[in-house]
Each structure stands twice: as structure tokens, then as C-alpha cells.
Structure 1
Amino acid sequence: MWVCPGEADPELVRAGVALIADERGSVLVDAGQSPSHAREIQAALLAAGLPAPRWLVYTHHHWDHVWGACAWPDVEIVGHASGADLLRAEADRPWSVRYLREEVLRNRRLGPSFRARALAVDSWEELRILPPTRVFTDEVELPTGVLLRHVGGRHAPDSTVVVVPDSEVMLLGDSWYPPPAHLRTPADEPDLALVGRLLDDTIGWYVSSHSAPMTLDDARRAIAG
């Protein structure tokens, strides 16, 4: 299992990406936040001698997890059914610097996210937002033994965790984070109760998209406060 951690600078909004590979094939978890970010990850995989992915899993539909998908060739994209409709709507929006500016003028709270998108994308003509080609509702196991489990939550309705039994790892995506900044209220906090429900003695590591990995003991201490 290989993990490219998320970007610490909040203005760049780069989610972490993982690759799970064995003789049965390889699974990419999240696509990168842009085609150029995806190409950076591809170069790192090549340098590390890791195989190209056969499956691409979306932990949820937010842009920093899926906008790189169009740069990954020959993959089956797997995601939760509720995210598919949301991504089809996103794909119909006229993404461009002009559109970003117009939307921010309509809703100033979109400013940080939309500025990050403008920084992320080198070519708007290249960008294509791709819904999953295979959807599931509750959980599904891929041919490699990787398990996808829908958990929902306040951050995104399609939030999915990815369990890698052979590595004793659970990839949490953004599932326990509060809602995105433009939707967040002062009362919104991290959903530690959701993490608590996910803790499992057979899983030794918990990896979130924008946070440092935690051991099982770390996670229990965090929940205990």
C-alpha cells in the first residue's frame, strides 16, 4: 500500500491519494484534485515501480478528490450511488475562471474553494468531471479484496471508507470532517462519533485525506478527548 499525503497548505486543497496493489491488480483511492495533480501522482507511481491502477475509487464527490479522474486512463471508476447524480450535475457546469469569478460574486463564501480550483487547473479545456462508471449503495468488495463501505455523514452524503484487510488499514476520506467551509456553521465540529463507530481491533491504521495517519490507539485517544 502506497500513500501520497494531502497538502498541508489549506489554500491549495490537495487531498491525499492511495494505491493498493498486489498480484490481483491495483486500486487507486481518489483521483487527485486536477489533471496536473494526477500526472504528478502517476510520475511518483512510475518512479516507485508501482503498477497503473485498474480501479479508481471515489471516497466522495468533492472536487479535490475527483477532478483528476480524467487523467487516469483505462480505469473503472467506483463510487456511491448518491455521488453519481451530484457529479453529473457538476459535470454540466461551465467551469472556467470567468465562471468561478461569477459564482464567488454571487456567494462570497465560495471564495477559498474556488480560488483553490483556479490554482489547481492548468487547462479548463482538458478538465472533464467523471461520474462513477460503477455504483454501489451499502458496500461492495472489489476483486482485490478491498472493501468499500458507505458511511455518509455531514461532510458529504456519499462519503465512503475503504478497508484494506491485508494491510490492516482503513482510508477514511473526509468522512468525519465538518461540512465544507462554505456550508459550515460555528456549531459544526469533527464527527468523532462516526470515527468511533468505525474503529475495529483488526484495523491498525486510520488514514484521512487531509490529516496525518493515526494508529488505532491514536484514534481512541483522539475520540476520548
Structure 2
Amino acid sequence: MSIDIIDIRPLAGRVWLVPGDPDPDNIRGSVAVVADDAGSVVVDAGQSPTHAREIRHAMDAAGLPPARWLVYTHHHWDHVWGACAWPDVEIIGHVAGQEILRREAARAWSHRYLRDEVRANPLLGPSFRARALAMDTWDGFTVLPPRRVFTDELTLPTGVRLRHVGGAHAPDSTIVLVPDSSVALLGDCYYPPPAHLRSPDDAPDLTMVAGLVRDEYDWYVDSHSEPWTLEQARSFKA
């Protein structure tokens, strides 16, 4: 099976970034890699096993250490569906997402299942059509809950810090801080609820963003935008 070559670029210090797809119909977010001689920390799994394999190939081509830890910023499919293609890693996530992903793992995922679910609830259409596009095969696919969970904060042996922030987008939203590289990885934490649960009044939580900005972090990265500088992050107004 051929593997597409995708872009992986250094952001700051030991943080590398695989950019997301700007096409909103594709729903493919960015994935960060924190390189470390003890093993790299991968932040989010990719939106499919194929995407994950492409990221692994890009890491190898860039000479980055193999992944040892995989951190979920939250449980949504485009952040976790690639996990089954990351061998020999410890999957870490907030405790609030563990049971949700156990239920997701029990679903009979297939293209037919996706079609049936959209017929039953058309609001699921954009998300489930993107899932269908992401999955070229269901062979060997499974949703993997985190094997290690935390409640408030957790620091990995590499110095990478995980902090639960919650929010309207997902109850398990976690930010990932890399102090020595001055990078804050935000996932989707300040986004409004997913489209099928969103009301007309829902909007990005800019108050949350303002509360996360710190002088010691020069870069702020969410999953579906270009990285922001500290100055750009400060310009967000609630």
C-alpha cells in the first residue's frame, strides 16, 4: 500500500506540526509532534488510520524519534480515529472522554452504518460524510479509548504538560503545553459545540482564549487554523 507524502514542519523548539486540511468538508485537523529522545509525544491521532500512517511516514522522513505517547485533546472522531494505526504507544486522555470512546468503540462502523445514521438524523450529515471520505477501508479499524486518564493536570516524562479545560465543544477538552518550546496546543477547546448540537447563538469562546494566553508561550495552535503568535492571541476579544 502506497503512503502519500504529507508536510511536516518545525514550529518552535522541538515542536513539529502536520498542518490540517483547509477544506472544511474534509475535517482533517493538524497534528503536533513533540520530539524527544525518550520517544515523541504525538498530539491527536489523525482522522483515520491512513492519515496516521502518513504522519508516521513524515516523522520518519524528518528523522524524528518514534512515537511513545499519543495524547487526545478530546474525543471527537477527527482527533482519535487514527489511533489504531499507532503501534506501541501509550494513549492518554482526560477521564471524561474515556467512557464516551468506549461507547463509540461499540458502534458497528461502516459506510452503511454512516448512511443509516444520517438518514435517521440529517444533522449528522457533514460529520458522517467526512468520516466516509476519510475511511478507504474498515479492515482492522477500531476506536481506542485512552489507556491512561487524568483529571486535572498531568506532566509526561518529556516535560509536556496536559491540562483539562473542558468547555462547550467537548467535556474532555485538554490543552497541551510545551514550556521549553513556548508552544500551547489548544485542540478545539474554545470552539462552539459540534454542528449537529449547535444553536444559532453558539460562538467561539473567546473568554476562554483570553484566559489561556500567557507571556511565556509564543505560539498558540488550534486544530483547524494556522498557528497564532502571542501578539495575535492577545488580539482576540471576548
After TM superposition, is the score higher than 0.5?
Answer: yes
Report the counterpart of residue 202 of structure 1 in structure 2.
216
Q: 1:31-89 CA distances to partner (integer Å, 9 max, x unpaired)?
A: 00000000111111111111111000000000000000000000000000010000000
Q: 1:175-208 CA distances to partner (integer Å, 9 max, x unpaired)?
A: 0111111111110000000111111111111000
Q: Which amino acid aligns with 2:66?
A: A
Instruction: Indicate whether 1:33 and 2:51 are aligned.
Output: no
Report the counterpart of residue 175 of structure 2 in structure 1.
161
Match of 1:127 among 128, 141, 145: 141
Partners of 2:58 and 2:39 in 1: how far apart? 18
Q: Which amino acid aligns with 2:192?
A: P
Gaps of 5+ in 2: 1-14
Q: Which amino acid aligns with 1:183?
A: L
Report the counterpart of residue 185 of structure 2 in structure 1.
171
Partners of 1:162 and 1:143 in 2: how far apart? 14
TM-score by structure 1 length?
A: 0.98
Match of 1:70 among 84, 88, 91: 84
Report the counterpart of residue 217 of structure 1 in structure 2.
231
Aligned Cα root-mean-square deviation (Å) = 0.8
Partners of 2:111 and 2:141 in 1: how far apart? 12
Q: 1:7-49 CA distances to partner (integer Å, 9 max, x unpaired)?
A: 1001110011011012333100000000000011111111111
TM-score by structure 2 length?
A: 0.92
For the Cα contact (< 8 Å) 2:84–2:141, is it kept in 1?
yes
Moved over 6 A (4+): none
Gaps of 5+ in 1: none
Instruction: Indicate whether 1:46 and 2:80 are aligned.
Output: no
Partners of 2:73 and 2:237 in 1: how far apart? 22
Report the counterpart of residue 21 of structure 1 in structure 2.
35
- Residue aligned with 1:54, SS: strand
- Residue aligned with 1:79, SS: strand
Q: Which amino acid aligns with 1:87?
A: L
Partners of 1:25 and 1:72 in 2: how far apart? 13
Partners of 1:223 and 1:81 in 2: how far apart? 31
Q: Which amino acid aligns with 1:103?
A: E
Q: Which amino acid aligns with 2:108?
A: P
Q: Which amino acid aligns with 2:91?
A: I
For the Cα contact (< 8 Å) 2:210–2:236, is it kept in 1?
no
Match of 2:124 among 110, 121, 126: 110
Q: 1:61-119 CA distances to partner (integer Å, 9 max, x unpaired)?
A: 00000000000000000000010000000000110111111110110000010000000
How many pairs align?
224
For the Cα contact (< 8 Å) 2:166–2:189, is it kept in 1?
yes
Report the counterpart of residue 11 of structure 1 in structure 2.
25
Match of 1:151 among 134, 155, 165: 165
Q: Which amino acid aligns with 1:45?
A: M
Instruction: Indicate whether 1:90 and 2:90 are aligned.
Output: no
Partners of 1:202 and 1:147 in 2: how far apart? 14
